[in-house]
Chain A
Amino acid sequence: MQLKKRPLFLYVLLLVLSFTLPVPGSAAAKKEVLSWDEAVKMSRGQTVDWYMWGGSPAVNRYVNGYLAPELKKKYGIHLRQVPVKDIAEVVSKLIVEKQAGKDSDGSVDLMWINGENFRTCKQHDLLYGPFADKLPNQQFVDWSKPTVKNDFGTPVDGMESPWGSAQMVMIYDTARTPQPPKSISALIAWIKANPGRFTYPAPPDFTGSVLVRHFFYHAAGTVDTWQGEYSAAELTKAADATYTLLNDLKSSLWRNGDTYPESPVKMNTLFADGQIDFSFSYHQGEASRNILDGLFPETVRTYVFDEGTITNTHFVAIPYNAKDTAAAMVVANFLLSPAAQLEKAVPEVWGDFPEISPHKLPVPWQEKFTGLPKGKATLSDAELQAHQLPEPPSTILIELEKGWVDHVLKNR
């Protein structure tokens, strides 16, 4: 019963704290964006804390084994990878920091980002920039590409700098499934005919979410509508059709759709263990990479749907309160250098597709890119480029993710 006295303590404490706490300053004046020369000059000796999804040893290997030593050597910049589970956590942290008035000396210097997280950052003024157009290596980027100009329908406006391109590919084992279903409708039929052999990561997981968007395009019967003007009614109709479709499939999914893998890598594990017959990935070269690491059997291959698969670009951005902005800019620029992009594309390293356009490069570099060996399971550039679909705007993406949780997961 002594507990009754405790609130008094708390009130007193609260009172004391409320007097001692600093009042957050009003929104800080926007920082001047550095010029390239200033950035290079100031960057030497700075440390860049790069927050990124840390779940892929291949990516970690590229960042810590190649980028960090190169940056140290070339620019005297110390690159430190800060692995996180989900970059959304970092965005949420920045929002809290902004509310708390921490407008400088922030710990995040650079983050690996795109899509809805970028949109949130832009909406809340959490980004430094525009800085992308200040970077010399921008010349190699094809800015006319819609996926570079707009990130999930949000104009990039130089607030983030492209790093790599992703395209969803289906992963299958030729030893198990010699004839994979080459379209969404064929896939639906296949799932129904082979109950328990397919699943997808639960949205809002990035990869699970992209599959739901493919089903959305299929259910809506159109891709282009969502790139321009569309009415709320149209969206609701198409979204509802998507949920009906997915609910309909639920009983044919792995474990009857009672539970879902929470990440693409968990799905890869299920696939490798022979529990399911398909995996899919946002990284065109991931299957080859996993074969090299012994995680997938040698007979694994990838394919894209006849109607195409969704493509997007991943970027890096600098937060508004970053401490080492100059060095972060230099890192962003180095990421786009032909050498770094080439190394990134090597199957043994990561196998991520370059974001710079080979035809904009000097001829010797062009040859290096075209001469690059592809991984065993990786499709050719021509095959991939012939089957590309755009992302819908991120408002649709969020709508679908929330709707999936309510209507498919919780079945309301």
Chain B
Amino acid sequence: MRVQKWILFFSVLLSVLLPFLPLVLWSTSERWFYPGLLPQSFGLRAWTYVFGTAGDQIVTGLSSSFSLALVTTIVSLILGIPAGRALGLYDFPGKKMVSLLLILPIIVPPLSVSMGLHFWFIQLRLAETFVGVVLIHLTVCLPYTIFVIWGVFTDYNPDFEEQAQSLGASPAKIIVQVMLPMILPGITVAALFSFLLSWSQYLSTLIIGGGKLLTLPILLFSLMDSGDRPVAAAVSLVFILPAFLALMGSAYNLGRSGLQGVR
């Protein structure tokens, strides 16, 4: 058993970490011609570029990606927690249809929706604005949030709330002191979920944001074409870091249940 465990452990470790190897090597290479297995010389040209010349853009990209993801997540939670509660707790006529409608955007690609909305977003002066891009990210993030929270509420026992109510707690107090603590792990998952989805959106941001909302994916895509592999690798690493930190932060909170359902 022990041997099998270690085999499992190392094969998972290797396949997960392998893709990071070329990124790290390329980003620190100065000269690396074929067929050298390792760079002929190492250097920090790419990192100087990322933090020097392109520093402003990277910071802009980081902050706009971050604030977009944050706002989208918050709005998704505000709208998604009540909806998930309704779906998870109650029976009502037409429930199947309502849930279908709320969940359908998960499977329909954002590209179809963004292209349809673009023209009208321009007319409503929403195109190329922060709000416009938040709205298009919402079509992706909100359904996932509802999906996760719905699952949380199927195991939720509202009797505690009634007890609290009978003890004289106000509705606000019930939400903050009874409901939220009980569903907190679920909320963390949903929030991470939504954050990562927004964080990695490319095409919908490009269509609605028109390139003006310079998120990290947009920046990386424009650099990708450069064939400057050291720079592309360095920016890729910058792109992974915040989400990775978020994972580290939440790992403790979530324990072993992990990020199930996040893609």
Contacts and interface: CB of A to CB of B under 8 A. Distances in A.
A54 B211 CA distance: 11
Contact of B120 (A6, A21, A83, A105): A21
B231 interface: yes
Interface stretch (B93-101, B135-143, B169-177, B179-187): B93-101
Contact of A82 (B43, B56, B211, B224): B211
Interface string B102-143: 000000000000000011101111011000000000000000
Given A2-B97, A96-B118, A21 B123 contact: yes
A34 interface: no
B228 A2 contact: no
Nearest to B118: A96
Nearest to B56: A64
Interface string B223-258: 111111101000000000000000000000000000
A5 B211 contact: no
A133 interface: no
Interface string A49-67: 1010111110011001100
A100 B222 contact: no
Contacts of A56: 226, 228
- Max count, chain A CB within 10 A of own CB: residue among B43, B53, B211, B231: B211
A94 B224 CA distance: 24
A273 B34 contact: yes
A21 B56 CA distance: 37
A111 to B, nearest CB: 11
Interface residues of B, number: 43
A51 B33 CA distance: 33
Contacts of B57: 60, 64, 81, 83
Nearest to B98: A2
Interface string B13-55: 0000000000000000011011100000101010001001110
Contacts of A3: 100
Given A2-B96, A84-B222, A294-B30, A97 B122 contact: yes
Contacts of A257: none
A55 B118 CA distance: 25
A55 B123 contact: no
A22 B124 CA distance: 7
A136 interface: no
Interface string B43-75: 101000100111011000000000000000000
- Max count, chain B CB within 10 A of own CB: residue among A6, A53, A82: A82
Contact of B54 (A60, A97, A107, A264): A60
Contacts of A89: 211
B214 interface: yes
B38 to A, nearest CB: 15
Contact of B33 (A6, A49, A297): A297
A101 interface: yes
A293 B34 CA distance: 16
Contacts of A102: 122-123, 125, 127
A105 B128 CA distance: 11
A264 B227 CA distance: 8
B114 to A, nearest CB: 13
B225 A263 contact: yes
A120 interface: no
A105 B214 CA distance: 18
Nearest to B34: A273
B18 to A, nearest CB: 20
A107 B119 contact: no
A269 B229 contact: yes
A113 B221 CA distance: 20
A65 B228 contact: no
B8 to A, nearest CB: 36
Contacts of B214: 82-83
A359 interface: no
B101 A6 contact: yes
B210 interface: yes
B29 to A, nearest CB: 8
A57 B123 contact: no
B34 A274 contact: yes
Contacts of B223: 54-55, 57, 83
B212 A49 contact: yes
Contacts of B96: 2
Nearest to B55: A64
B227 A64 contact: no
A90 B45 CA distance: 31
Given A85-B222, A265-B226, A272-B33, A93 B119 contact: no
A265 B227 contact: yes
Contacts of B123: 21-22, 24, 100-102
Nearest to A93: B210
A99 interface: yes
Contacts of A88: none
Given A54-B223, A85-B221, A293 B53 contact: no
Contact of B119 (A5, A64, A100, A268): A100
20 contacts: A21-B123, A22-B123, A55-B223, A55-B226, A60-B54, A64-B53, A64-B57, A83-B211, A83-B214, A83-B218, A96-B118, A97-B127, A107-B212, A263-B225, A264-B227, A265-B226, A265-B228, A274-B35, A293-B45, A293-B228
Interface of A: 2-3, 5-6, 17, 21-22, 24, 49, 51, 53-57, 60-61, 64-65, 81-85, 89-90, 93, 96-97, 99-102, 105, 107, 263-269, 272-275, 293-295, 297
Lowest 6 CB-CB distances: which A-B pairs, in order? A265-B227, A54-B222, A83-B222, A2-B97, A55-B225, A100-B122
